A and B are shown apart, each in its own frame.
Chain A
Amino acid sequence: MSNNEAESQFDRFLDEWSRRDFLRGMGGTLAFAAFAAGGMEFLAACGGNQAPTTNTQNAVRGGHIVEGQISDISNINPIFINDVPSSLVGYLVYSRLLMADGKGNLIPDLATAVPKVDSDQVTYKVTLRDAKWSDGQPITSDDVVFTYQLMFDPKYKATTSRFRAQLEQYLASVTNPDPKTVIFKTTKPYAPFEISFMNIGILPKHIWEKLQPAEINSSPMNQVPEVGSGAMLPVKWDKGSQYQLKRNDLFWRGKPYLDGYVVKVVPDGVQIANQLKTGEIDVGNPDLSQWDSLANVETINRVSYVAPSFDYYIQNLDPAKTPKAAIFGDVQVRKALLTALDRQKVADKVYFGLAAPADSSVSGAQWVHSTPKTQYPYNQSKAEQMLEAAGWVKGADGIRAKNGVKMEWELRTNVGNKVRETLITVLADQWKQIGANVTTKPVQFPQLVTQLSQSRDFEMILLGISEGLDPDTTQLWSSKSIGGGALNGAAYKNPKVDDLLDQAVQTLDREKRKGLYQQIQEVLMEDLPAPLVTYPKSVWGISKRVKNFNVAAWTGASPRPWFKDVYVVDGK
């Protein structure tokens, strides 16, 4: 186990530990001694390496909790969902065929089991369990077929589902031979199909079929549906203020313990920390800078975990778009630039210790993650040597130049994310130490997205990505994904990677797929078109009166299969 791995595991171990009252008496040193003595076994036994567990022995029925979120819901209809608060509420209100557990593995929801693909590699047969809508009607395969038709049938072209283009490409047909069976046929073997498209919430046909296709886009049921099938049902939406839900007694997993649940809109992460302290909210994601201040609050537990996300910077490699491609075009220069970054210090100071330096092109929470052999530990002098060797020599003003091109560029990120705004100034400063003159400019998010994915009119951009459940990264690294709204802003073209990505998407065998993605990670660490900087952690403040609120890497905001077992100790 490498040093970094050990440290992060010990962190997780401590987090789990502090939540166990009986061990609180032991100090930190003892904890480490126990950890060192017991090593992996102790870790596993204390649940340090697994998703947190559910315990309903002393569960109390009744009460409610308030969750703080920074933005309001926009649209909780599963075919439209596009932001965190909406998917949080959407997952509570609508059940779906499959969902994910804390580690990102598929588990069945409305389906009785996770379907295995047929021998033809394109057919999936799903059997539905017995479940009811909140108005008492049974959930049948008609509902499933209807939901998918909304997203890909030509009859519903006017309905602006964001899944349409992809489903038109990959879904050949969805049929139901009987009320409890649904058969999906893909157009070709497509590995991400189950995890990407079978976890979409199912809509009640008997309610929605009454609407015209275009009416669906603006129906108020998109925000406050009358009928649902999840753990909670909508009660009221106070626009911009809060969304109130109540217990669904007909939920197929069983009646939830909580009576009610509110998602409250809080202005920012600092206020979330404040309101956690005053008890105005019970759970929420505090701003990273407030993490320390929550440590000694008696009423709050802190939870942090490695999230499926990463922050990375994209270098524009296209000479047709920017003359700076002359700087980034040389792979030795790219390697030198990464070597010049002290990412551990950045994680400590800019993320307040709540991040880890990245070591690959996918986050640590992805099951395909591996640590490529080539790494770039911080070494400023080595970076300078590499630049010298590549022909970039310091001029009289201290800035390197080669063939008349100066080593200077503009680094952009989006306005509104304080961590990233600070990060770009720090990175710029670290590059200044090796003779690159980097200026920084925060830009409004929509403009940044356009610059990255449409006009590709930028020099270097720093961004954060929240990964999807499926490890397919065609959108990020394939040469098909340059411009037109796709995310390969660097214009990175590597036929080998293209080929591996295509193969991996069609390989349904999990082990084989993992192997392919590992090869991709190795290549990307050699080419470094868009190196990852850090893996930020997700942080939560959870009131001590709330139990079984088991947020983990893939079950943070959504989905929350554990939600029905959440209870409050005082029943209020």
Chain B
Amino acid sequence: MLAKFVLRRALAAIPVVVGVTVITFFLMHSTAGSYVPGLALNPNLTAKDVALLRSQLGLDQPLWIQYLDWTGVAWVVQHLGLGSLLVGANEATPGLLQGSFGQSMVDGTSVSSQLFDRLPNTILLTVTAILIGIAVSIPLGVIGAMRRGTRVDNALTTVSVAGVAVPQFWLGLICILFFSVRLHDWGLPFLPSSGLQTPFTGGALLDRLAHLIMPAAVLSFVYLAIWSRFTRSSMLEVLSQDYVRTARAKGMGERRVTYFHALRNAVIPLVTLVGLELPGLVSGGLVVEAVFGWPGIGLLAYQRALAYDYTMVLGIVTFASILVVAGNLLADVLYASFDPRIRLA
């Protein structure tokens, strides 16, 4: 039964992925059709240069052929000997179906090398932000629940709700201005304002942490508000459960009741919430990456989108979407294996 369910879900995921490639491809290509990516406004470049470069990048072919080329369908067709079906196509290069994201149109580097070199940076950032989020929202939620209705509770609620009301880029820039520039002006130790590490330090751990802490903290704000409120209400619900009352009645100490029984059970639903964030791991930090010059995937996609680097942007967006679809599929499968009712849905 489970296997059938998994198969059904996986098959349903395929048209979604195909649909994603179609949407992103045609969105990306529907603007400035004759622009040649990567060419600066050069007063020495002639019209012939531009036209030549355009055709070398394959941009003068009809759009549907470019799509088939990029997805790797053209390669398959040509290798089956049916190349004549693709009127006007150049020699096809390996595409998505063959596992290749192609080359950047701006600098010729391989898209996958850029993607996978920078992916760890984004993961480092978002995972750290999630960890900070968990580490702070659990205590906030517990305190709020324990002191429900008091001023402390209200204050904490206000802080967490307020935390999401500030624009992320603004928060980031304020942090830079304070923790980097002001602290330096006052002669105090200050945090670096951009990048992964200080050049020529060989990537010492403390240095890398110093670079990581600000962007990760800013990014964690987004999670804090939701998770701390959720922990609080989850904790409240658990505390009113029968088994907690039973534990108290049995004479168990209040502290033990809270931390041992209640907390453990209150945190379990939080895991679900955290899990919801995982598919968005790759793209969530774009604004923070832009503010702090953090060389991750989001920033790469943004910069290359501005430069109309078609292949790079399509590669990154497709990759991220596949992760989302795969993540959802995994989550569905996990739920189904725990709860048989879902398999029938």
Contact = CB atoms under 8 A, between A and B. Distances in A.
B40 A164 contact: no
B150 to A, nearest CB: 42
Contacts of B197: 241
Nearest to A240: B295
A453 B50 CA distance: 10
A66 B194 CA distance: 13
A83 B303 CA distance: 14
A466 to B, nearest CB: 8
Given A218-B109, A271-B293, A74 B38 contact: yes
A162 B49 CA distance: 6
A166 B42 CA distance: 13
B117 A166 contact: no
A526 interface: no
B278 interface: no
- A278, A446, A450, A487 — which one has the most chain B CB atoms within 10 A of its CB? A446
A486 B180 contact: no
Contacts of A292: none
| Interface size grouping (class) on chain B | 35 or more
Interface string A443-476: 0111101100111000000010111101011011
B38 to A, nearest CB: 6
Given A238-B196, A240-B299, A275-B194, A468 B50 contact: no
Interface in A153-178: 158, 160, 162-166, 169
A431 B290 CA distance: 36
Interface string B107-138: 11110011001100100000000000000000
Interface stretch (B9-17, B29-37, B240-248, B313-321): B29-37
A75 interface: yes
A529 interface: no
A242 B197 CA distance: 9
Contact of A196 (B37, B44, B57, B107): B44
A166 B190 contact: no
A412 interface: no
A165 B49 contact: yes
B308 A446 contact: yes
A72 to B, nearest CB: 8
Interface in A239-298: 239-242, 244, 260, 262, 264-267, 271, 274-275, 277-280
A416 interface: yes
B27 to A, nearest CB: 14
Contacts of B195: 241-242, 264-266
A275 B177 CA distance: 11
Contact of A160 (B33, B56, B190): B56
A278 B198 CA distance: 12
B49 A166 contact: yes
B102 to A, nearest CB: 10
Contact of B200 (A160, A260, A485): A260
Contacts of B45: 162, 166, 475, 485
B73 to A, nearest CB: 22
A481 interface: yes
A223 B299 contact: no
B277 to A, nearest CB: 24
A163 B113 CA distance: 27
Interface string B208-236: 00000000000000000000000000000
Given A218-B110, A240-B299, A265 B293 contact: yes
B47 A465 contact: no
Nearest to B104: A74
A71 B49 contact: no
A384 B290 CA distance: 46
Given A260-B200, A278-B180, A278-B181, A165 B52 contact: yes
Given A267-B290, A416-B306, A162 B53 contact: yes
Contacts of A470: 44
A483 interface: yes
Nearest to B113: A220
Interface in A53-84: 64, 66, 71, 74-75, 80, 82-83
A234 to B, nearest CB: 14
A274 to B, nearest CB: 5
B32 A218 contact: no
A75 B118 CA distance: 18
- A220, A275, A279 — which one has the most chain B CB atoms within 10 A of its CB? A275
B336 interface: no
Contact of A239 (B35, B47, B49, B118): B118
B291 interface: yes
B307 A446 contact: yes
Contacts of A455: 34
Contacts of B292: 267
B43 A280 contact: no
B113 to A, nearest CB: 8
A519 interface: no
15 contacts: A66-B200, A164-B52, A166-B49, A223-B107, A223-B109, A239-B114, A239-B117, A241-B197, A262-B200, A265-B194, A271-B193, A274-B181, A450-B33, A454-B35, A485-B46
Interface of A: 64, 66, 71, 74-75, 80, 82-83, 158, 160, 162-166, 169, 196, 217-218, 220, 222-223, 238-242, 244, 260, 262, 264-267, 271, 274-275, 277-280, 416, 444-447, 449-450, 453-455, 463, 465-468, 470, 472-473, 475-476, 481, 483-487
Given A239-B295, A444-B306, A475-B46, 12 more contacts: A82-B42, A162-B39, A169-B46, A240-B299, A264-B199, A267-B290, A267-B292, A278-B180, A278-B192, A446-B37, A468-B43, A481-B47
